[in-house]
């Protein structure tokens, strides 16, 4: 008999639980499916939130050939074989087949490179699934050809809905007399992961005789699983809550709280590289120009952790954490780039002023390129006021220094 998680795998969007921002009435994926035109994308989210299920539902709804690869067991040869099969099934006036790659972040650079040509040529629609940040794990050329959609851990309401559905509809569990008396431990153990929830329910179901009443309580769940339901789950909702508390403690200049949350992550088995990456981000976003050395130290800590490993890696992480928490703070650079990006998206490709353009040819010089440019080093203090912005933005201000910034702004 199939495991409970497979028996209860949704087959349609109507049965799919969670991720309403993607599959709800106005969700982008629902609109794609309704239109029948699905472009390549990557689903990023923790385990057990429906990435594989969603890809399967999309392929089934569109009624197109569906190929799957696991990055854990597949090599470049397997990728090429699947591409050939997809080409063979891609006939004129038919919808493109879908290639689903689970754990795409585990593909090597050469494996990811082997997908590029087929994606560009429209041989198949690529759907990737990953638990890791695609910005770090997927090569830029492939990432630029795919949209990234974030899936969230299932909420308690989502998990309770799934609980009741399974108890009422599963061919095995509905024959048993199951009473949900308490659900706190059940939900905590699940950590926002539907697969974990179903595995726990299946374990509890198999622990009693068919004619016995199964009364689910927090005590029963703890006894059967022999774990602490309050334990840190690095793949569940608590993972995101604790890293959020960690970063906010650093931002709030509380080294004691920051070290406490760091210890929670270390003791819970969090990936050291994940912690180190967040320290680098915090050094840039929250400390910023108030102490530019923070970014250097955070990068050094990241490098040290990769070189020396665990458990000694906890020491440079602690050093960086305390240093960032006790540093002066400024988000002026963070605000400046966000404001500038918003402006660029609104104004588009404004022309570069002629005096800022290079004039490597005679024709360009005759057209006025570089004419009127003032070389700052020729002036006192190596500075001369002149316009560097496009004409349409010549009076716009993006960067406003904070009181704590160690920079000089001249304009």
What is the residue extent of each domain of the chain? 19-150, 156-225, 237-326
Q: Which two tokens stand for residue 367?
A: 């057209």
CATH: 1.20.1050.10, 1.10.8.60, 3.40.50.720, 2.60.120.260. Which one for 156-225?
1.10.8.60
**Residue 327: other Cβ atoms inside 10 A:** 21
User: For 117, phi and psi rounded to 5 degrees?
Assistant: -60, -45
Q: Taking the mean position of all CA atoms in its chain, how far away is CA 295?
A: 22
Which letter, b or e, does each residue of 375-411 get, where b requires 16 or more Cβ atoms within 10 Å of its Cβ? eeeeeeeeeeeeeebeeebeeeebbebbeebeeeeee
Tell me how far apart the alpha carbons of residues 48 and 42 are, in angstroms, rounded to a whole number. Answer: 16
**DSSP summary character for residue 158:** H
Average pLDDT, the chain: 86
Which letter, b or e, does each residue of 68-99 get, where b requires 16 or more Cβ atoms within 10 Å of its Cβ? bbebeebeeeebeebbebbeebbeeeebbbbb
**Residue 235: other Cβ atoms inside 10 A:** 16
Most confident of 206-215, 242-251, 366-375: 242-251
For position 294, what pLDDT does the model report? 94
What is the average per-residue pLDDT within 221-237? 61
- pLDDT at residue 228 greater than cutoff 50: no
pTM above 0.75, yes or no: no
Q: Of 18, 46, 28, give the one whose Cα is nearest residue 130.
A: 46
Q: Position of tokens 């770090």?
A: 136
CATH 3.30.390.50 fits 19-150, yes or no: no
- pLDDT at residue 231 greater than cutoff 70: no
Q: What Rg, from alpha-carbon coordinates, does the chain have?
A: 27
69 pairs with which residues across the strands? Answer: 101
For position 51, what pLDDT does the model report? 92
Instruction: Give the pLDDT band (50/70/90) at residue 388.
Output: confident
CA angle at 213 for the pair 210 and 214, rounded to the nearest 5° = 95
H/E segment holding residue 43? strand 41-44
Q: Of 292, 290, 283, 285, give the one whose Cα is nearest residue 320.
A: 283
Tell me how far apart the alpha carbons of residues 263 and 270 are, in angstroms, rounded to a whole number. Answer: 10
- pLDDT at residue 230 greater than cutoff 50: no
Q: What CATH code is assigned to 237-326?
A: 1.20.272.10
For position 90, what pLDDT does the model report? 64
Which letter, b or e, does each residue of 172-194 get, where b requires 16 or more Cβ atoms within 10 Å of its Cβ? ebeebebeeeebebbbbbbbbbb
Q: What Cα–Cα distance (Å) separates residue 203 from each residue in 167, 208, 226, 232, 242? A: 13, 9, 12, 21, 29
- pLDDT at residue 158 greater than cutoff 70: yes
**Residue 320: other Cβ atoms inside 10 A:** 27
User: For 150, phi and psi rounded to 5 degrees?
Assistant: -95, 130
Give 325 or 86, the one with higher predicted confidence.
325
**DSSP summary character for residue 388:** -
């Amino acid at each position: 008999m199939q495991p409970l998680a497979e028996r209860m795998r949704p087959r349609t969007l109507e049965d799919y639980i969670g991720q309403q921002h993607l599959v709800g009435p106005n969700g982008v994926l629902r609109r794609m499916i309704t239109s029948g035109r699905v472009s390549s994308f990557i689903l990023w989210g923790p385990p057990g939130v429906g990435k594989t299920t969603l890809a399967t539902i999309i392929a089934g709804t569109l009624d197109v050939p569906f190929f799957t690869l696991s990055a854990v067991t597949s090599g470049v040869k397997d990728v090429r074989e699947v591409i050939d099969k997809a080409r063979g099934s891609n006939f004129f006036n038919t919808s493109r087949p879908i290639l689903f790659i689970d754990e795409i972040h585990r593909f090597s650079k050469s494996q990811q490179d082997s997908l590029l040509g087929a994606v560009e040529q429209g041989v198949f629609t690529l759907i990737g699934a990953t638990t890791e940040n695609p910005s770090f794990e997927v090569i830029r050329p492939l990432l630029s050809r795919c949209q990234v959609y974030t899936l969230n851990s299932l909420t308690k309401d989502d998990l309770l809905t799934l609980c009741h559905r399974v108890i009422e509809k599963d061919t095995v569990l509905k024959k048993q007399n199951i009473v949900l008396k308490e659900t706190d431990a059940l939900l905590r153990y699940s950590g926002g992961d539907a697969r974990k929830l179903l595995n726990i329910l299946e374990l509890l179901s198999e622990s009693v005789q068919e004619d016995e009443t199964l009364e689910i309580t927090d005590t029963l769940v703890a006894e059967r699983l022999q774990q602490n339901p309050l334990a840190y789950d690095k793949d569940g909702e608590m993972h995101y809550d604790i890293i959020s508390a960690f970063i906010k403690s650093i931002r709030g200049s509380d080294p004691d709280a920051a070290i406490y949350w760091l210890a929670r992550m270390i003791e819970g088995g969090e990936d050291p590289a994940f912690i180190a990456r967040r320290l680098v981000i915090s050094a840039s976003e929250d400390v910023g120009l108030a102490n530019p050395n923070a970014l250097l130290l955070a990068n050094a800590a990241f490098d040290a952790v990769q070189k020396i490993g665990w458990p000694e890696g906890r020491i440079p992480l602690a050093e960086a954490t305390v240093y960032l928490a006790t540093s002066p703070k400024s988000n002026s650079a963070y605000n400046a780039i966000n404001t500038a990006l918003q402006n660029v998206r609104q104004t588009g490709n404004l022309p570069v002023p002629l005096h800022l353009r290079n004039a490597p040819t005679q024709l360009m010089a005759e057209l006025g390129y570089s004419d009127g440019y003032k070389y700052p080093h020729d002036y006192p203090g190596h500075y001369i006021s002149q316009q560097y912005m496009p004409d349409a933005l010549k009076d716009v201000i993006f960067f406003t220094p904070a009181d704590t910034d160690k920079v000089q702004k001249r304009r």
